[in-house]
Chain A
Amino acid sequence: MAENSDASEEVLLDCRKICKSYNGPMVLSDVDFSMKRGEIHALVGENGAGKSTLIKIITGVTGRNSGTMVFEGKEIGHDHSRTGAQGLGIAVIYQELSLIHGMTVAQNMFLTKEPRMPVLGIINIRRMNSLAQAMIDRYGFNLKATDVIDGLSIGQRQTVEILKALNGKASLMIMDEPTSSLTSAESAQLFGIIRQLKADGISVLYISHRMEEVFDLSDRVTVLRDGRLVEVLEKERIHPNEIIRLMIGRCLDEKDSKCVMERKGGEVVLDVHGLSSEGKFSDISLQLHAGEVLGIGGLVGSGRTELVRAIYGIDAHDSGSISFQGKPWTPGVSQSIRGGFGFVPEERRLQGIMGGISITGNIGITNLDSIAGKGFVSDRKELALSRKAVGLLNIKPAEPSLPVGNLSGGNQQKVVVGKWLIRDLRLLIVDEPTVGIDIGAKEEMYQTIARLASEGVSVILVSSDLPELTRLSDRILVLRKGRIVKEFAEGAVTEEDVLRASSGILEGGAA
Chain B
Amino acid sequence: MSITALRRLILIGLLLAIGLGLSLASPSFLKLDNLMTLLQEASQTGIVAVGFTLVLITAGIDMSIGAVIAITAMICANFLTYTHIPAFAFIPVALGAGCLVGLFNGFFITRFKLPEFIVTLASRGILAGLALLIAVKDADGFVSNVFIQDPVYLGFGGTVGPFYIITIVFLVLAVLVQFFLKRTRSGTNIYATGANPTAARLSGINTDKTIFAVYMFSGFCASLSSIFLSARMMTAMPEFGIGSEMDVIAAVVIGGTPFTGGIGDIWGTVIGTVFLAMIKNGILKLGISPYIQPIVIGGIIVVVVVVDVWYKGFAERLARNRARRRTAEQDRAAA
Contacts and interface: CB of A to CB of B under 8 A. Distances in A.
> Do A and B come from the same complex?
yes
Interface string A423-448: 00000000000000000000000000
A111 B205 contact: yes
B137 interface: no
A418 interface: no
A385 to B, nearest CB: 32
Contacts of B188: 103, 107, 111-112, 114, 123
A188 B204 CA distance: 30
A185 B330 contact: yes
Contacts of B262: 100-102
B172 interface: no
Interface string A92-114: 10100111111100010001101
Contacts of A278: 317
A153 B327 contact: yes
B209 interface: no
Nearest to B328: A481
Interface string B192-209: 100110111111110000
A152 B330 contact: no
Contacts of A101: 195-196, 262
Contacts of A183: 327, 331
Interface string A217-228: 000000000000
B323 interface: yes
Contact of A102 (B185, B195, B317): B195
A142 to B, nearest CB: 6
Contacts of A164: 203
B31 interface: no
Contact of B198 (A97, A189, A279): A97
Interface residues of B, number: 37
B83 interface: no
Interface string B300-325: 00000000000000001101111110
Given A123-B184, A189-B334, A278-B317, A98 B327 contact: no
Given A101-B262, A279-B321, A155 B189 contact: no
B136 to A, nearest CB: 43
A301 to B, nearest CB: 5
B195 A100 contact: yes
Contacts of A282: none
Interface string A147-172: 00011110110000000100000000
Specify the main secondary structure of chain B where it touches its partner.
Answer: helix
- Size band of the interface chain A makes with B: 35 or more
Interface string A442-465: 000000000000000000000000
A503 B327 CA distance: 10
A100 B324 contact: no
A350 B200 CA distance: 19
Nearest to B195: A100
Contacts, number: 113
Contacts of A1: none
Contacts of A94: 199, 202
B324 A481 contact: yes
B111 interface: no
A74 interface: no
B266 interface: no
A403 to B, nearest CB: 17
B322 A151 contact: yes
Contact of B323 (A123, A142, A152, A186): A152
Given A100-B262, A151-B322, A185-B334, A114 B195 contact: no
A387 interface: no
Contacts of B316: 150
A83 B205 CA distance: 9
B326 A151 contact: yes
A200 B334 CA distance: 23
A503 B334 CA distance: 10
Most chain A beta-carbon contacts within 10 A, residue among B319, B327, B330: B327
A211 B216 CA distance: 52
A123 B185 contact: yes
B84 interface: no
Contact of A99 (B179, B199, B323): B199
A24 interface: no
A112 B333 contact: no
A505 interface: yes
Contact of B205 (A92, A112, A123): A112
A300 to B, nearest CB: 7
A116 interface: yes
Contacts of A373: none
B185 A116 contact: yes
A503 B323 contact: no
A148 to B, nearest CB: 8
Nearest to A108: B203
A111 B189 CA distance: 8
A477 interface: no
Contacts of B323: 151-153, 301
Given A82-B204, A151-B326, A100 B184 contact: no
A508 interface: no
A324 to B, nearest CB: 28
Contacts of B203: 98, 100, 111-112, 164
Nearest to A189: B334
B289 to A, nearest CB: 42
Nearest to A143: B326
Given A98-B199, A183-B331, A150 B324 contact: no
A121 B179 CA distance: 12
A122 B183 contact: yes
Contacts of A114: 185, 188
A97 to B, nearest CB: 6
Contacts of B201: 82
B204 A83 contact: yes
Contacts of B195: 100-103
A21 interface: no
Nearest to B321: A279
A151 B262 CA distance: 16
B192 A188 contact: no
A279 B313 CA distance: 12
Nearest to A87: B204
Contacts of A150: 316, 319
Contacts of A155: 327, 330
B263 interface: yes
4 A-B pairs closest in CB distance: A185-B334, A153-B327, A98-B199, A98-B202
15 contacts: A82-B204, A83-B204, A98-B199, A100-B199, A103-B191, A103-B192, A111-B188, A112-B203, A112-B205, A155-B330, A156-B326, A156-B330, A279-B317, A301-B327, A481-B328
Given A102-B262, A142-B330, 15 more contacts: A100-B195, A102-B195, A102-B263, A112-B189, A112-B203, A122-B183, A142-B333, A151-B319, A153-B324, A156-B326, A156-B330, A185-B335, A279-B317, A301-B324, A503-B335
Interface of A: 82-83, 86, 92, 94, 97-103, 107, 111-112, 114, 116, 121-123, 125, 142, 150-153, 155-156, 164, 183, 185-186, 188-189, 278-280, 299-301, 481, 503-505
